Amino acid sequence: MPLNRPSDITEGLSQRPARISPKYFYDQRGSQLFEAITRLPEYYPTRTETALMQRHAADMARHLGAVRTVIELGAGSCEKARALCAWVRPACFVGVDISVDFLQEAVLRLRADMPGLDARAVGGDMTQGVVLPSDIPRAGRLVFYPGSSIGNFDPTQALELLRHMRALVDGDGGLLIGIDLPKDVAVLEAAYDDAAGVTAAFNRNVLTHLNRLIGSDFVEDQWGHRAFFNQQASRIEMHLEALAPICVRWPGGERRFAMGERIHTENSYKYPLAVFTDMLAQAGFSHAQAWTDERGWFAVVHARP
C-alpha cells in the first residue's frame, strides 16, 4: 500500500465531476509518452515553437541579454533548453520537473553534451513553489517555460504560477515563455486526439500512476479518451470516460462511476496574445516582447519585471 497518499487525488476523485490533476500524467512512462506526442504529425505546438525560436534566435538572444542561469520549469527531456543554452551560453542550467528520474537522465545527457555547463536536476511540484539549491546565484536568471504548458492551468492558477516565476528572478532577470494561440477547432482537436492513439495512451496512463500512488484499482482498458475544444472557455478539455459501470476502490474509499461518466484530466487554454501579456503584467512582468510564427498559431514571449 502506498504511504503518504496525496490527498488531492482522492479529493479530486470524490468530486462531481471527478478530476485528476494533470501533474500526475508525468511518471516515467507518462513522460516518455508525452515526448512521443511531441513528434506526432497532428501535434503542431512543439515543432511550431521550435521553428519559431530557430527563426528568431538572434533577435531573441539580443533581447535576453546576459543570462547567467537558465531555470526550466517542467523541463522533461531538456531538449528545448539545450538549444536555448547554445544561444545564450549560461554558466548554469537548472531543470525542474515532477518526474525526477526522467529529468535526471536528461540532465546527465546535457552535462555530457555541453562540457562546462553546471547542469542540475531539481525534483519538485512547481505549483507548490520552486525551491532552488542555495548556491544558484540570483543575478542574471532566466526562467524558461516553453511548450504552452501554462495553458494547463485555469487562469487564476496560471496567474499564481506566473507570480511564482516572478519571485525566482530579480530586476535583471526575466521569463521566456511559450503560449498556444487560438486557431481552427479542427487543428486543435486533432492535436489532442491523434490517429495513432498516443494521446489516448498518455491520458489513460494517469490511472496506472494513480494505482501506484494511492493503491487504487483502476483498469486502463475500462476507460475511453475524450478530447474536445470548449469554445466558451477557449480551452481544449481532456477526459476519461467510463465504458461501463465501474467501481474504483482504494484504501479507505471508493467511487462508483456510471457508464459514460467522465474524469476531467486536463485543460489547455488558448490565450489571445493581448490577454496573456496583460496577465504577465498582473504577475509583475511589465515589459513583454513577443515573437509569433507566420500563421499566428504560437507565440514565444520574453517578459521582464
User: Which domains are seen in the chain, by residue range?
Assistant: 7-20+186-269 (no CATH), 44-184+270-304 (3.40.50.150)
Q: In the predicted model, is pLDDT for residue 3 greater than 60?
A: no
Q: How confident is the model at residue 171 (pLDDT cuts 50, 70, 90)?
A: very high
Asked if residue 283 has pLDDT above 90, the reply is: yes
pLDDT above 50: residue 146: yes
pTM of the complete model: 0.89
pLDDT at 300: 98
- pLDDT above 70 covers what percent of the chain? 98
Give the rounded percent of residues in the chain with a pLDDT score beyond 90: 90
- Check residue 76 and give its pLDDT: 83
Q: Say what the pLDDT of residue 257 is.
A: 98
Residue 4 reports pLDDT greater than 60: no
The one-letter amino acid at 25 = F
Q: How confident is the model at residue 5 (pLDDT cuts 50, 70, 90)?
A: low
66, pLDDT greater than 50 = yes
C-alpha cell at 13: 476523485
Residues 121-133, mean pLDDT to the nearest whole number: 87
Question: Tell me, what's the pLDDT at 67?
Answer: 97
- pLDDT of amino acid 125: 83
The pLDDT assigned to 1 comes to: 35
Average pLDDT, the chain: 94
Q: Please check the confidence at residue 218 and state whether its pLDDT lies above 60.
A: yes
